[in-house]
Structure 1
Amino acid sequence: MKILVLSSLAYSLTNFRGALLRELKANGHDVVAVAPDENAAVERDLAAWGIGLRIVPMARTGTNPLKDAALLSAYMRLMMAEKPDLVLAYTQKPIIYGGIAARLLCVPRFFALMSGLGYVFSEDSKARKGLRWAVTRLYREAVRRSRGVFVFNADDRQEMIDLGIVTRRQNVIQVPGSGIDLERFRLEPLPRGRLRFLLVGRLMRDKGIYEFVEAARQLKLDNPEVEFCVLGHYERDNPTGIDEVECARLARQYPVQFIPGTSDVRPYLASCSVFVLPSYYREGLPRTILEAMATGRPVITTDMPGCREPIIEGENGFLVSPRDVNSLKAAMQRFIEAPSLVTSMAARSRDLAEKIYDVRKVNHQLLDEMDLLREPWNEPATIRAEALPSSDLPQAIGQRQDARSSAGSRAIAG
């Protein structure tokens, strides 16, 4: 079967979806990856896996209708040339315009991997309401005849139903994120000496950067030995992005070390004691949290859709209120006052990563749901009830649902 995989960034193909692409190839499929930017390292890796790369230019952010129409046209030309049997798209614009193109051209199968609803759905500001209205309708058109929509958390699934993006009759499958490569992200010993809090994420206001630096400032007054670090790429074009100038200002005014974005976060995760992500961005299931858990680190994050899913309160981390400096500060203070919590929660994080978020289990579930496995898969992921914050997760995660209609659609539990 010929499969097109549509992305919004070449880097993500190998660093975030590499294991999935290799699994598709290992199951005998002809895989072609699509990205808007050229990247020699990515192209080299894909070629080594026997996967082709096609470039389709795209404005990753912004709402210029002419540019978006050009993207739709480019996707249609590509699909007419490649004649795929299945299209799998992830992130907003590839899902929207790839889905519409696939429907117009009657591509046999289209699947959307919704890793989160994104910043448009993060808050109810007037500026975003009009854009949310448009994006909702575009999503609806894109997935109207899809074979399946994968979501990472129950909140996104329900909101998509409430907004009318999908109907209750459509095949919406909840999976435990993108999974994490437990061989690449190994359990690392906790650092000795000073307690170090690390935030990893794109440098955006919605990721809770300002709340983190203010909490760090207040904690540093009475705990001068504690360290605080932020690691991430600048976001110049994102509406809530933080650029180099603003980062330099924050570094001068707050006791926080800002580390430039990197292609390998593992050394930084290994050097931290506690991972922090005070995001109020509309996450699907943050990969950075899974990477920290696999490394064996406690997690402080917000009680928000996506962020809350991997956390068992008081066992592998703490949930805090979004946009709340005092709540964040209090959670960090607990580790400062009781360092033994770091050790116990670190072990629990790794335990949950192995039981639920192993990328091999997640990818097998994805391929199984898309009917792309050479052999039937009979080994569901091991799930513990205590690790499932939402009562309907056991049905959605790690368990094969055999009842399918001839069209491949399945009613969603309401």
Structure 2
Amino acid sequence: MIVRELPWLAGVDAGSASITTGRVAVGGWLVSPTGPDGSTVRLGDRIARVHWERGTKAVPGVPADWPSWVWRAEIDIEQPVGLEATVTAPDGTVLSRVAVWPESTFRTPASLGEIDFPAADAELAGDLVVVSGWLLLDGRLPSRIEVEVDGATPQRARLMLPRPDVTQNLPGQIRQAGLSGYEARVPLPLAPGERRKVSLRVRAWTRDGREWTSPVRYATLRRRAVDQRDAEAAARASAFTEELLGRVKAAVDTDHVLVVTHSLRVGGGQFWLSELLRHLAGSHGHKVTLVSPEDGPLRAELEELGVTVHVTGHHRVQDATQYAAYVGELAMLATASGAGVALVNTLGMFAGVEAAKRAGLPVAWVIHESFSLEDFAYLNWGMDGLDPLVRERWESCLADADTLLFVADATREMFLPWSRPRRCVTVRYGIDLVPVQQAQYATKEEVRRELGLPEAATVLLNIGVSEPRKGQAPLLLAFEQIRATHPDAHLVIVGTHESPYCDALRDYVEAAGLAGSVSLVPICRDPRQWLRAADLFVNSSDIESLPRSILEAMAFGVPVVAADVFGTREIVSDGESGWLFLPNDLSALTVGLLRALDTPPEDRARIAGRARAGVGAFLDSAHYGQEFSTILKSLARGNATEERDA
């Protein structure tokens, strides 16, 4: 049994403050392993009179079984003025510091910001409402923002997006202004040609729980209608290539796999595919032909494995006729290749699914992404950028694919409405364990010296291409908060590159004086040394299916703190094999870090051991190589997934 050493945590309820002529009174809460004795509350520069009571309600973001106390502090004053309420632990550590104000102003935080998009009464194209802007509450970043659009579930906004324009234009120096941006994307499915007026508003919360709500704003959505002339032209293009397909002949090899993927550049989906093809083309004896619209460094690796690589260039999904022509050409290539089965990688490569089906090949389609179709279309092709006829074919491909393969059950559940349950299969992927074993020969101290990390520090590691959805900016701010109680902590973020987001990360590290405690490391193909050096791994992404980096951390025996999203919760059990926190919530992230850091090292090691044992059945990538080989051979020989599972 793991015995937890509870942290000291505190909060100030600014909404309960009473500031009048003659007296200031404010309340709050405390989590303490030994009770409130020795703790102090200062109001301004004076130690307050404090009344303590044992808490009877759960503290938001804190496990319900942790002992808590509520307090009420008072001082006498002559004039009602705003001041800071500071809660201090017996050893002098500041646990919480919040500004409180006279009753005329304390209940709603002072807001500074704009909803940049959509403008009031805007006409929007598509079936996705994108709401973006910037916001500061009492001069600080909100802990959480939600966007409400009528007819849809409230959507948590992605926080702390770079806004250098705000920094340049705000009077005075507000350090957090450069990360004050936010964005939420709310799907509202519409039929082609449908028009709908909606209302929207933004709600935000400060770290002490006070709420601010924007005025209601209206916008009208309109999805593009089908152009009959485009439909006829696309039909003619399909008929022409269908006629040509009848002239293409090739002997079919059931062990030959045609792979259609989105890119050969560096990325998670590409690494997954490279590892899979190493097994398929190696120990399982498959011949592989790969088609990609985008070249990249992985091409050389694949060709060394004996994979035939063909780069086509990008196809257009904005024009139904050009899309139909591309599918026809790809179908002819599929037929001429002699492959017996097609493996399509990523949600956006549906053209490969349609082409393979037209060529008469059975198709296994791997969907890594946990996005709605509306959201994915916006991110890849812009607002209403997908031709409605092409969108219809995309949806048909989900129904027509012989097998849909997912890396997490949560993603599978998301796509079940588009297919049949027995066609939807979860195959969790693994990693190559040989490099992990090789990395263990060096001690943690040796690796830290080589990397230039402080040997005695508690190293928190984040790995992933730095971008808003990966949440490195909120992680920086949460890390800044926990340094008050953990001054020996050191944060390493691996995955920076040249981008406005990474520029904002660098600027904040410098402005906050964190340069000695934070290392920003460029994208690294082989992160083994960093994992060997780490004490905790933090995954702060707000959307993930099954993060490879978490599996790598578990393989190295590094305990994991992660956002509770999709497949992550399937491999991390909160408090047992790691720590989970709510995504897009700065306070929850901060508490998650504190829970992990306040757990003794020997207990963290036991938690990491449980995590590795929990994923042991599939951690080695050989398992998914075998499972994919079985699925592909079964499809090539005419056994559909439904029949195989029956």
Q: TM-score range by the shorter chain?
A: 0.7 to 0.9
Cross-structure match for 2:436: 185
Determine the C-alpha separation between the residues in 1 that align with 2:436 and 2:319.
Answer: 41
Secondary structure at the aligned position of 2:555 is classed as helix
By how many angstroms is 1:294 displaced? 0.9
Contact 1:302 1:320 in 2 (8 A): yes
Secondary structure at the aligned position of 1:79 is classed as helix
By how many angstroms is 1:252 displaced? 2.4
Are the structure 2 counterparts of residues 287 and 133 from structure 1 closer, same or farther at C-alpha, using a change threshold of 3 Å?
A: farther
Secondary structure at the aligned position of 1:16 is classed as helix
Gaps in structure 1 of 5+ consecutive residues: 237-241, 375-404
Cross-structure match for 1:31: 288
Asked if 1:17 is matched to 2:273, the reply is yes
Determine the C-alpha separation between the residues in 1 that align with 2:260 and 2:553.
Answer: 27
Cross-structure match for 2:108: none
Are the structure 2 counterparts of residues 8 and 14 from structure 1 closer, same or farther at C-alpha, using a change threshold of 3 Å?
A: closer
Cross-structure match for 2:344: 89
Structure with bigger RCO (C-alpha 8 Å, 6+ apart): 1
Matched residue pairs, number? Answer: 369
Cross-structure match for 2:314: 58
By how many angstroms is 1:66 displaced? 7.6
Are the structure 2 counterparts of residues 161 and 68 from structure 1 closer, same or farther at C-alpha, using a change threshold of 3 Å?
A: farther
Contact 1:57 1:71 in 2 (8 A): no
Residue 597 of structure 2: which of 336, 347, 366 is its match? 336
Which structure is higher in helix share? 1
Determine the C-alpha separation between the residues in 2 that align with 1:359 and 1:80.
Answer: 30
Asked if 1:109 is matched to 2:362, the reply is yes
Cα RMSD, aligned residues only:
3.7
Residue 224 of structure 1: which of 462, 466, 487 is its match? 487
Q: How does 1:303-342 map to 2 (within 5 A)?
A: 303-340=564-601, 341-342=603-604
Gaps in structure 2 of 5+ consecutive residues: 1-254, 446-454
Cross-structure match for 1:213: 476
Amino acid at match of 1:31: V
Larger Rg: 2
Residue 252 of structure 1: which of 510, 523, 526 is its match? 510
Q: How does 1:3-402 map to 2 (within 5 A)?
A: 3-10=257-264, 11=266, 15-25=271-281, 26-39=283-296, 42-58=298-314, 64-65=318-319, 69=323, 72=327, 75-94=330-349, 96-106=350-360, 108-118=361-371, 137-162=392-417, 165-168=418-421, 170-176=422-428, 178-186=429-437, 188=440, 193-234=456-497, 243-254=501-512, 255=514, 256-281=518-543, 283-340=544-601, 341-371=603-633
What TM-score comes out, normalization by structure 1 length?
Answer: 0.77
Determine the C-alpha separation between the residues in 1 that align with 2:461 and 2:257.
Answer: 38
**Residues 305-353 of structure 1, C-alpha deviations (whole Å, 9 max, x = no match):** 1221111222321110111111111121123223323322232333334
Determine the C-alpha separation between the residues in 2 that align with 1:344 and 1:68.
Answer: 57
Secondary structure at the aligned position of 2:484 is classed as helix
Contact 1:110 1:148 in 2 (8 A): yes
Cross-structure match for 1:400: none
Are the structure 2 counterparts of residues 234 and 372 from structure 1 closer, same or farther at C-alpha, using a change threshold of 3 Å?
A: farther
Determine the C-alpha separation between the residues in 2 that align with 1:160 and 1:129.
Answer: 22
Name the % identity: 21
By how many angstroms is 1:131 displaced? 7.6
Determine the C-alpha separation between the residues in 1 that align with 2:299 and 2:411.
Answer: 33
What TM-score comes out, normalization by structure 2 length?
Answer: 0.51
Which structure is higher in strand share? 2
Secondary structure at the aligned position of 1:309 is classed as helix
Are the structure 2 counterparts of residues 328 and 121 from structure 1 closer, same or farther at C-alpha, using a change threshold of 3 Å?
A: farther
By how many angstroms is 1:5 displaced? 1.4
Contact 2:262 2:292 in 1 (8 A): yes
By how many angstroms is 1:226 displaced? 0.7
By how many angstroms is 1:224 displaced? 2.4
By how many angstroms is 1:227 displaced? 0.7
Determine the C-alpha separation between the residues in 2 that align with 1:184 and 1:155.
Answer: 30
Determine the C-alpha separation between the residues in 2 that align with 1:181 and 1:68.
Answer: 40
By how many angstroms is 1:369 displaced? 2.4
By how many angstroms is 1:145 displaced? 2.5
